[in-house]
């Protein structure tokens, strides 16, 4: 991608981010009940009316909406996302604290998913319409309809409660604890990717260059691995970027089931507890990460595919 | 023997359509044949294992799990249809307006949709549903708010595709009004594609609603909703696993049937391309 194009994409991103910040702020403004009461109830205190009034003044809630938004936005730009209502910690540091476990979970589940879906997709495409292919396709169909939260519960029931092989939830962040959430997320994604791999390998196999390579006497496996696969993997990049971006936003449901200390779990807790600064910070952060990843994907895509580089 | 071939090519549609219809019938007729009440709680029957009088056991309040699972289909299907209707109407309306009028209207609608699309799946819906307060209407609102852009973009692209055709110009020159143009030419052109897309989305919407309820941002007790039943059953996983097994099976089966039905519908109208894939 040209420098100019990247810069214009970044500018567009800024505009969208501004919109998102406005929306995040508006959300808490629209909420029934006021944030001060929410703050006190999150802290578990019943405030006196004078206290409410004083706190409202101190937080600038008596000012007009636009002024409030402006102040908040300027603070955000200085890296100050405010203080969480429920545990009085800095929102940014809370986000950072939760980000690392989420990155680990996202990374390993993507790895596991690729390890399953690429071979399955290739087998399915190479042996099209064989019993192998049919079996894989039926499994895909079932996988797409499988609710992630139910799968998580079933895995928890079987492997943690019945077989006692893995912990239901533990306080340390070790590999053992990550296995079940990882598998749940990976299985949930596998169907989509297996389908995609199958479709793009089939696409490539029908190209003329495959016939050419065969005519030149290249072996079947050589054609598949040296020529077809690199081309077939290209469309996966975009899809991978989107999945990775959404995993980094924290997968609320799976993280909740396994009480995994990631962003999604924190987000759900924040929403439940009406912890407004934390919700705003979380929403902004997730959107930022998601958009950045998508931009990186587009850039890397043009690096990997010479045709797009030439076309400009 | 033409009808025989037609029948054969529509085999999948017929099979899955019939299954979907059966599920609908079960949902509609549930109160007529279910022997227990899904909400009333005979506490003395609490937590009975499956078998005997209670095919799938009873829950912590003594309610029959099988009855609640069957009634869950009513909740799930009616809410999904409501959501689908809202998203379809809202999304197509905004998309058609954006594409038809262009200019500022287009820019505003599309930029707002960019904002909604800048979020991974459920994150924004959770925030909206949670902040508005947990109930089913708010959950539906939340998912509608994050889902309309996909339909708006689809409708807009379809409008743009025919906007510069000669017959539209001809109609315009002969003095057709905007409302007539929209009704007579644009709507018939976009509706089939949008409806087919909606048919393939039924399963996804159903899962989203169940997810929100599972997290506690959807229906409230004692409504028998599958997602909520699962989150209730989760607490009793050790002592009463049937509480989390049967609602899950129900979601799985119903979502599968609707997904397969949606795919069959799409294949019928548009055997080659999946239009929504590139949006």
A34-86 pLDDT, tens digit each: 667 777 776 667 777 777 777 777 776 777 778 888 888 888 888 778 788 77
Q: Which residues of A touch B255 (CB under 8 A)?
A: 145, 147
Distance between the two ends of chain B, CA-based, in angstroms? 40
Which of B118, B122, B230 is facing A20, going by the closest CB pair? B118
Determine what percent of chain A is predicted with pLDDT higher than 70.
Answer: 92
Q: Alpha-carbon distance A87 to A259, whole Å?
A: 18
Q: Which chain A residues are closer than 8 Å to B127 by Cβ? A: 27, 267, 271, 279, 282-283
Q: Report residue A109's pLDDT band, with 50, 70 and 90 as the boundaries.
A: very high
Helix A229-248 with A276-304: angle, nearest 10 deg: 170
Residue A129 Ramachandran class (φ > 0 left, ψ -120 to 50 alpha, else beta): left
Is B43 domain-assigned?
A: no
pTM score above 0.95 = no
pLDDT at B88: 94
**Quick check: is B104 in a domain?**
yes
**pLDDT exceeds cutoff 60 at A94:** yes
Instruction: In whole angstroms, give the CA distance from residue A265 to residue A252.
Output: 5
**pLDDT at position A36:** 72
Residue B192 lies in a domain: yes
Q: Are B156 and B95 in contact (CB under 8 A)?
A: yes
Given this model, what pLDDT does residue B131 score?
84
CA dihedral B77, B81, B84, B90 (to 10 degrees): -150
Cross-chain CB nearest to B237 (options A27, A161, A272): A161
Residue B160 belongs to domain with CATH number: 1.10.3720.10
Amino acid A28: pLDDT: 77
Tokens of A302: 């043009």
B230/A149 touch (CB, cutoff 8 Å), yes or no: yes
Could you report the per-residue pLDDT of A226-279, keeping only the tens digit for each?
888 888 888 888 788 888 887 876 688 888 888 888 888 888 888 888 888 888
Instruction: Give me the pLDDT at residue B98, please.
Output: 93
If we measure between CA atoms, which residue out of B164, B168, B200, B197 comes closest to residue B184? B168
Nearest to A252 among B126, B238, B255 (CB): B126
User: Shortest CB distance from A287 goes to which of B119, B203, B252?
Assistant: B119
Hey, are the CB atoms on B237 and A246 less than 8 Å from each other? no
pLDDT per residue over A273-307, tens digit each? 888 888 888 888 888 888 888 888 888 877 777 77
At residue A174, the pLDDT reads 72
CB–CB contact B131 A286 (8 Å): no
Show residues of chain A in contact with B279, CB under 8 Å.
Answer: none
Domain-embedded: residue B76: yes
Question: Taking the alpha carbons of A265, A271, A274, A279 in that order, is the dihedral positive or negative?
Answer: positive
Instruction: Give how far Cα A245 sits from Cα of A81, A93, A250, B59, B234, Å.
Output: 22, 20, 9, 39, 29
Q: Both tokens of residue A27? A: 């959300």
**By the CB < 8 Å criterion, does B131 face chain A?**
yes
A295 and B122 Cβ atoms separated by less than 8 Å: no
Q: Mean pLDDT across chain A, nearest whole number?
A: 83
Interchain contact B200–A (C-beta under 8 A)? no
Domain range for B244 is 13-37+55-278
Asked if residue B141 belongs to a domain, the reply is yes
Nearest to B216 among A264, A272, A279 (CB): A272
Q: Determine the Cα–Cα distance for residues A11 and B253; give it in Å rounded to an integer.
A: 46
CB–CB of B121 and A16 under 8 A?
no
> Do B259 and A144 count as a contact with CB atoms less than 8 A apart?
yes
Residue A114, judged by CB atoms within 10 A of its CB (0-12, 13-18, 19+), counts as: middle
| Angle at alpha carbon of residue A86, lines to A85 and A90, rounded to 5° | 60
Exposed/middle/buried for residue B236 (C-beta within 10 Å: 0-12, 13-18, 19+): middle
Using CB atoms, which residue from B115, B120, B259 is nearest to A286? B120
Q: Residue B233 domain-assigned?
A: yes
**Alpha carbon of A235: minimum distance to chain B alpha carbons (Å):** 12
How high is the ipTM of this complex?
0.83
State the average pLDDT over residues A98-123.
91
List average pLDDT for each run of 10 residues in chain B, which is 279 residues long.
71 89 88 77 73 75 84 91 94 92 90 84 85 88 92 92 88 88 88 89 91 88 86 84 89 92 82 41
Q: What pLDDT score does A169 carry?
A: 64
User: Which residue, A270, A189, A283, A292, is CA-closest to A236?
Assistant: A189
Q: Å from B129 to nearest chain A CA? A: 9
Q: Is residue B3 part of a domain?
A: no
Residue B218 lies in a domain: yes
The per-residue pLDDT for range B97-138, each reduced to its tens digit, is 999 998 899 989 998 888 888 887 788 888 888 888 888 899
Mean predicted confidence (pLDDT) in A124-144 = 88
Give yes or no for a contact between B154 and B275, defined as CB atoms under 8 angstroms apart. yes
**Chain B contact probe: residue of A145, A148, A248, A270 with most B CBs at under 10 A:** A145
Per-residue model confidence (pLDDT) at position A172: 58
Decide if A13 contacts B114 (C-beta within 8 A).
Answer: no
Q: What is the pLDDT of residues B6-28, one digit of tens each?
A: 777 778 888 999 999 999 998 88
Q: Quickly list DSSP for A19-70.
A: HHHHHHHHHHHHSSS-HHHHHHHHHT----HHHHHHHHHHTTTTS-HHHHHH
Q: Which residue of B has its CA nearest to A241?
A: B120
Among candidates A16, A245, A279 on the partner chain, residue whose Cβ is nearest the Cβ of B127? A279
What integer pLDDT is reported at residue A171 of this predicted model?
52
Smallest CA–CA distance, residue B116 to chain A, in Å, is 8
Number of domains in chain B: 1
Chain A contact set for B114 (CB, 8 A): 12, 16, 19
**Gap from B97 CA to chain A (nearest CA, Å):** 21
3-state secondary structure labels for all residues of chain B: CHHHHHHHHCHHHHHHHHHHHHHHHHHHHHHHHCCCCCCCCCHHHCCCCCECCECCCECCCCCEHHHHHHHHHHHHHHHHHHHHHHHHHHHHHHHHHHHHHCHHHHHHHHHHHHHHHCCCCCHHHHHHHHHHCCCHHHHHHHHHHHHHHHHHHHHHHHHHHHHCCHHHHHHHHCCCCHHHHHHHHHHHHHHHHHHHHHHHHHHHHHHHHHHHHHCCCCCCCCCCCHHHHHHHHHHCCCCCCHHHHHHHHHHHHHHHHHHHHHHHHHHHHCCCCCHHHHC
Show residues of chain A in contact with B115, CB under 8 Å. 16, 19-20, 23
- Measured between beta carbons, the chain B residues lying within 8 angstroms of A274 are 130-131
- pLDDT, residue A120, reads 93
Q: Evaluate if residue A7 carries a pLDDT over 60.
A: yes
């Amino acid at each position: 991608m040209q420098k100019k194009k990247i810069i214009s994409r970044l500018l567009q991103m800024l505009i969208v981010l501004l919109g998102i910040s406005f929306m995040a702020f508006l959300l808490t403004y629209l909420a029934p009940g006021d944030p001060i009461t929410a703050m006190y109830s999150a802290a578990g205190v019943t405030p006196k009316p004078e206290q409410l009034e004083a706190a409202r003044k101190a937080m600038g809630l008596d000012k007009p909406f636009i002024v409030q938004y402006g102040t908040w936005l300027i603070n955000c730009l200085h890296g100050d996302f405010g203080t969480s209502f429920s545990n009085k910690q800095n929102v940014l540091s809370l986000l950072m604290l939760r980000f690392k476990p989420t990155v680990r979970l996202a990374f390993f589940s993507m790895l596991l998913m690729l390890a399953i879906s690429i071979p399955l997709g290739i087998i399915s495409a190479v042996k099209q319409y064989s019993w192998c292919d049919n079996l894989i396709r039926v499994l895909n169909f079932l996988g797409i309809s499988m609710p992630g939260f139910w799968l998580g519960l079933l895995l928890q029931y079987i492997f943690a409660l019945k077989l006692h092989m893995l912990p239901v939830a533990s306080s340390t962040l070790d590999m053992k604890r990550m296995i079940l959430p990882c598998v749940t997320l990976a299985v949930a994604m596998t169907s989509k990717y297996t389908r995609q791999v199958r479709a793009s390998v089939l696409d490539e196999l029908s190209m003329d260059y495959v016939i050419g390579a065969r005519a030149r006497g290249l072996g079947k496996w050589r054609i598949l691995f040296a020529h077809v696969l690199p081309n077939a993997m290209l469309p996966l990049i975009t899809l991978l970027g989107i999945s990775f971006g959404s995993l980094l936003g924290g997968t609320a449901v799976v993280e909740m089931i396994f009480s995994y200390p990631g962003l999604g779990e924190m987000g759900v807790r924040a929403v439940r507890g009406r912890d407004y600064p934390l919700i705003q910070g979380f929403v902004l952060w997730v959107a930022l990460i998601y958009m950045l990843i998508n931009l990186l994907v587009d850039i890397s895509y043009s690096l990997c595919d010479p045709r797009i580089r030439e076309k400009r | 023997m033409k009808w025989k071939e037609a029948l054969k090519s529509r085999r999948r549609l017929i099979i899955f359509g019939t299954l979907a219809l059966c599920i609908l019938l079960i949902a509609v007729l549930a109160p007529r044949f279910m022997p227990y009440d899904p909400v009333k709680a005979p506490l003395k029957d609490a937590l009975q294992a499956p078998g005997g009088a209670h095919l799938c056991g009873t829950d912590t309040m003594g309610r029959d799990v099988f009855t609640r699972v069957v009634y869950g289909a009513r909740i799930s299907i009616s809410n999904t249809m409501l959501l689908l209707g809202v998203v379809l109407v809202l999304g197509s309306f905004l998309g058609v307006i954006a594409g038809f009028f262009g200019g500022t209207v287009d820019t505003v609608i599309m930029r707002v949709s960019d904002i909604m699309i800048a979020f991974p799946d459920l994150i924004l819906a959770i925030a909206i549903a949670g902040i508005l307060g947990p109930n089913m209407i708010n959950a539906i609102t939340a998912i509608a708010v994050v889902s309309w852009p996909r339909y708006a973009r689809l409708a807009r692209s379809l409008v743009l595709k025919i906007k510069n055709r000669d017959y539209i110009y001809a109609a315009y020159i002969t003095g057709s009004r905007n409302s007539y143009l929209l009704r007579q030419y644009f709507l018939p052109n976009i509706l089939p594609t949008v409806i087919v897309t909606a048919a393939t989305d039924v399963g996804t919407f159903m899962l989203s609603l169940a997810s929100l309820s599972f997290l506690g941002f959807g229906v409230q007790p004692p409504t028998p909703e599958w997602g909520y039943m699962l989150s209730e059953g989760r607490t009793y996983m050790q002592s009463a696993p049937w509480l989390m097994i049967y609602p899950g099976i129900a979601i799985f089966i119903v979502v599968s049937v609707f997904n397969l039905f949606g795919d069959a519908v799409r294949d019928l109208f548009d055997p080659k391309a999946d239009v929504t894939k590139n949006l």
